[in-house]
């Protein structure tokens, strides 16, 4: 199969670039700049952007053999600067940096079959100030900076065609793939599944793999994929902390086992409720849940004698954990990203690390996982622990599970499939009401429904009034402990999706 190699120079958009290529039906691998290998199946090279300047002392470079070979190269931003420098042109610190939306005018729009002026996404300080021999300018930014060059076979762009703000970005990439590299459009997600299965077989050999499974989309897809590769040498551990949605402690193990994943189920809910008793600080609750989860998991995992730990890390987790390790921008400690124990001496296995959420869903369907599971909403690792405000006990968890299930049922019955995430929150308040002519004094619950892409930002979902009315009526009649139902109309930012 024809393949495109993206060489990663550290751009935050590298994986997006790989994704755009996959969307066009072309096999693509991402290789690190210092270890790239080009085999005979490679039909094109794309050099990503990156945070460095090509003149920095330790700037990542490109072996000139790649530029001299017959394989077409597309350089993007830093990749463009590298090509130019390596081929004897000149790159300088720009007089003005260009960031964000920037107009670009094509002198030869017919090359890419795009309009002569498009809006693009720029993010650069350096610029091309001298062309390599044989190259010509085919596009300039409205600020007069070189935005596109070619020698007829290789191309370089100053802007990012992979970012969706760039108009005709996918068309530009498609032109390079199909008209310049002449690759065939023959990659499908089933190929990805097969490649990963082979890779897992090779890496794991006859050893054992252990995984913490919660029934979430990512860990389930990773587990089913791994089970296809190594069968029952994968053991999933399902830790029930008592803070799952209603009936999940029964349904999740059943579903995973039906998908061929060997599973150990541990009911640790007593331990969690005991440790959480009287604790109301949100970060403290997360910490307790996270730590005890690991402790329970570790105890089980030790008995399995595994060499690998499988995690359903996906690309947005990689971005988020990188961002949160950078400095102070950690907003909440997401316990299931990264942090399982080092002293267990397990190597990490992360077969879906390069995929975006919607690609994971497509892969899940390809693996035969039911849509009720593949399309399920995200659910936080600490579960209802971050939806019971104030201190937590088993009774409050029971009440919230009932309320949450009623709300989700109402949304389902109304056919509101496009809600990205919806749930109920139990507030540490009671309010006065009247039920059957008697004074009542019940809990306040808040319902929340949001629209989001990847959870980084969100807007509250306008659930139709009749659906809210029905949910409120059912909740207050079926859950007698609840006296009042409110609906959360706050976006993220300024709020977060979860209340804690």
DSSP notation for 118-185:
EEEEEEEEEEEEEPPTT-EEEEEETTS-EEEEESSS-EEESS-TTSTTSTTHHHHHHIIIIIIS----
Q: Is 410 a catalytic residue?
A: no
Instruction: Tell the smallest beta-carbon distance from residue 337 to ligand XMP (Å).
Output: 7
Between 161 and 381, whose beta carbon lies closer to ligand XMP?
Answer: 381
Dmax (CA) of the chain? 90
Place of tokens 């497509």: 362
DSSP per-residue letters across 390-432: SS--HHHHHHHHHHHHHHHHHHHHTT-TT-SEEEEEEEEEEEE
Taking CA 211 as the corner, what is the angle to CA 209 and CA 214, rounded to the nearest 5 degrees? 160
Residues near 432 by Cβ (< 8 Å), separated by ≥ 6? 439, 440, 441, 483
Q: Which of 28, 98, 124, 162 is an active site residue?
A: 162
160 is catalytic: yes
Count how many Cα atoms sit within 13 Å of the Cα of residue 205 in the half-sphere of its side chain. Answer: 3
Residues sharing a CB contact under 8 Å with residue 145, sequence separation 6 or more, in sequence order: 94, 98, 127, 128, 158
Closest CB 497 distance from ligand XMP, rounded Å = 3
Smallest gap from residue 360 Cβ to ligand XMP (A): 14
Cis peptide before 207 (omega within 30 of 0): no
Do residues 170 and 20 touch, judged by C-beta distance below 8 A?
A: yes
Q: Cβ of residue 42: shortest distance to ligand XMP, in angstroms?
A: 37
Residue 164 annotated to the active site? no
Binding region for ligand XMP (CB under 6 A): 331-332, 334-336, 378, 380-382, 421, 455, 492, 496-498
Least Å distance between CB 157 and ligand XMP? 33
CB of 287 to ligand XMP, least distance (A): 11
Residue 45 vs 217, nearer CB to ligand XMP: 217
User: Closest by alpha carbon to 410, among 335, 459, 466, 366?
Assistant: 466
Which two tokens mark 388? 């019971």
Shortest Å distance, C-beta 334 to ligand XMP: 4
Residue with tokens 């300047």: 53
Single out the residue of 108, 129, 91 nearest to residue 172, CA to CA: 108
Backbone angles phi, psi at 499, to 5 degrees: -85, -15
Query: Which is the catalytic residue, given 81, 124, 160, 334?
Result: 160
- List active site positions: 77, 160, 162
């Amino acid at each position: 199969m024809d393949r495109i190699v993206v060489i990663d120079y550290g751009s935050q958009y590298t994986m997006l670039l790989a994704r755009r290529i996959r969307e066009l039906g072309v096999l693509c691998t991402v290789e690190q700049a210092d270890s790239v290998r080009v085999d005979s199946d490679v039909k094109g090279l794309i050099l990503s952007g990156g945070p460095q300047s090509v003149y920095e002392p330790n700037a990542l470079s490109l072996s000139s053999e790649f530029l001299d070979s017959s394989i077409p190269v597309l350089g993007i931003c830093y990749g463009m600067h590298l090509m130019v420098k390596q081929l004897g042109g000149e790159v300088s610190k720009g007089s003005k940096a260009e960031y964000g939306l920037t107009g670009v005018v094509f002198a030869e729009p017919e090359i890419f079959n795009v309009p002569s002026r498009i809006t693009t996404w720029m993010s650069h300080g350096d610029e091309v100030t001298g062309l390599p021999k044989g190259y010509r300018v085919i596009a300039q930014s409205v600020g007069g900076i070189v935005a596109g060059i070619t020698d007829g076979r290789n191309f370089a762009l100053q802007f990012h065609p992979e970012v969706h703000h760039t108009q005709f970005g996918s068309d530009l990439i498609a032109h390079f793939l199909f008209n310049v590299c002449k690759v065939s459009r023959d990659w499908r997600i089933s190929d990805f599944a097969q490649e990963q299965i082979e890779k897992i077989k090779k890496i794991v050999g006859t050893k054992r793999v252990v995984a913490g499974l919660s029934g979430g989309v990512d860990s389930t897809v990773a587990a089913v994929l791994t089970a296809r590769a190594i069968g029952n040498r994968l053991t999933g551990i399902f830790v029930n902390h008592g803070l799952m949605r209603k009936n999940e402690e029964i349904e999740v193990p059943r579903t995973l086992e039906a998908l061929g994943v060997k599973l150990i189920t541990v009911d640790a809910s007593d331990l969690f409720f005991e440790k959480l008793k009287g604790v109301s600080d949100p970060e403290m609750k997360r910490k307790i849940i996270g730590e005890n989860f690991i402790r329970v998991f570790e105890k089980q995992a030790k008995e399995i004698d595994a060499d690998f730990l499988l995690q359903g890390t996906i690309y947005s987790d990689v971005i988020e954990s990188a961002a949160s390790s950078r400095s102070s921008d950690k907003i909440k400690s997401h316990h299931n990203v990264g942090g399982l124990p080092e002293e267990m001496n397990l190597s990490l296995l992360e077969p879906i690390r390069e995929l975006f959420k919607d690609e994971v869903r497509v892969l899940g369907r390809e693996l035969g996982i039911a849509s009720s599971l593949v399309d399920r909403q995200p659910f936080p690792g600490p579960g209802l622990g971050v939806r019971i405000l104030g201190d937590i006990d088993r009774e409050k968890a029971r009440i919230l599970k009932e309320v949450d299930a009623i709300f989700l049922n109402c949304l389902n019955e109304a056919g509101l499939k496009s809600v990205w995430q919806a749930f109920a929150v139990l507030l540490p308040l009671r309010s006065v009401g009247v039920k059957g002519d008697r004074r009542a004094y019940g809990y306040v619950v808040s319902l929340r429904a949001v629209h989001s892409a990847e959870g980084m930002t969100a807007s509250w979902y306008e659930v139709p009034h009749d659906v809210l009315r029905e949910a409120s009526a059912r909740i207050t009649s079926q859950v007698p402990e609840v006296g009042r139902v409110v609906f959360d109309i706050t976006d993220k930012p300024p709020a977060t999706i979860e209340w804690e």
